[in-house]
């Protein structure tokens, strides 16, 4: 059972990533209806990159990197006000968005490998392309895992919002520096 984590390159991989995110957020978790999901994501399709985890030829995980180029803002700015230092450097920031792992894989040890692998691929892409910040709105449990188990040095950039996807989210930013990121889980 080989696990491949990479940037989605083909139309099929991109569409499979979009379907997986839709299945998780709309159908399974019921965080948002289909119209709201499309309305929130479509403006950013042309300025985003999908990363996928593939097992046995099927996309089982996805994450998206989104820039401000499509709308002039990062998607998280629909719900949160960014600090001045970030609004003046949007061209140096990417937002990590639409993380999803297939339900039958979640909770298994492989889901940790998928999450860490996609985060590492995104981090490497951002660093190699001279971005300075990764921003995200995270669910508290994911934030806790990354901050505690990986010792990631996040900066909290605003108050959480209970209305976005009907869930409490924590908006954070990570400066891309090697000393801020570890990909080995502490026990």
In a domain, 90, yes or no: yes
CATH number for the domain spanning 151: value is 3.40.630.30
In a domain, 187, yes or no: no
In a domain, 11, yes or no: yes
Residue 163 has pLDDT above 60, yes or no: no
In a domain, 150, yes or no: yes
Domain that holds residue 128: 3-180
From its phi and psi, is residue 183 left (phi > 0), alpha (psi between -120 and 50) or beta? Answer: alpha
For residues 28-66, b (16+ Cβ closer than 10 Å) or e, as one string? eeeebeeeebeebbebbeebbbbbbbbbeeebbbbbbbb
pLDDT digits (tens, 9 = 90+) for 10-51: 999 999 998 998 888 787 877 666 666 666 666 667 778 999
In a domain, 186, yes or no: no
pLDDT digits (tens, 9 = 90+) for 62-115: 999 998 887 788 888 877 788 888 888 889 999 998 888 999 998 878 888 898
Handedness of CA 185, 150, 122, 172 (dihedral sign): positive
């Amino acid at each position: 059972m080989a696990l491949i984590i990479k940037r989605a390159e083909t139309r099929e991989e991109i569409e499979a990533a979009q379907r997986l995110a839709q299945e998780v957020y709309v159908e399974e978790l019921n965080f948002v209806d289909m119209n709201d999901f499309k309305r929130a994501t479509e403006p950013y399709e042309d300025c985003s990159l999908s990363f996928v985890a593939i097992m046995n030829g099927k996309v089982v995980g996805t994450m998206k990197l989104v820039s401000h180029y499509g709308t002039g803002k990062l998607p998280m700015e629909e719900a949160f006000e960014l600090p001045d230092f970030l609004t003046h450097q949007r061209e140096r920031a990417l937002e990590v968005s639409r993380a999803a792992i297939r339900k039958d894989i979640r909770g298994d040890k492989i889901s940790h490998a998928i999450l860490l692998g996609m985060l590492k691929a995104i981090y490497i892409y951002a660093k190699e392309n001279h971005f300075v910040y990764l921003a995200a709105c995270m669910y508290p449990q994911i934030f806790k895992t990354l901050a505690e188990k990986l010792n990631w040095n996040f900066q909290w950039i605003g108050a959480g919002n209970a209305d976005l996807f009907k869930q409490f989210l924590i908006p954070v930013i990570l400066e891309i520096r090697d000393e801020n990121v570890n990909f080995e889980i502490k026990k």
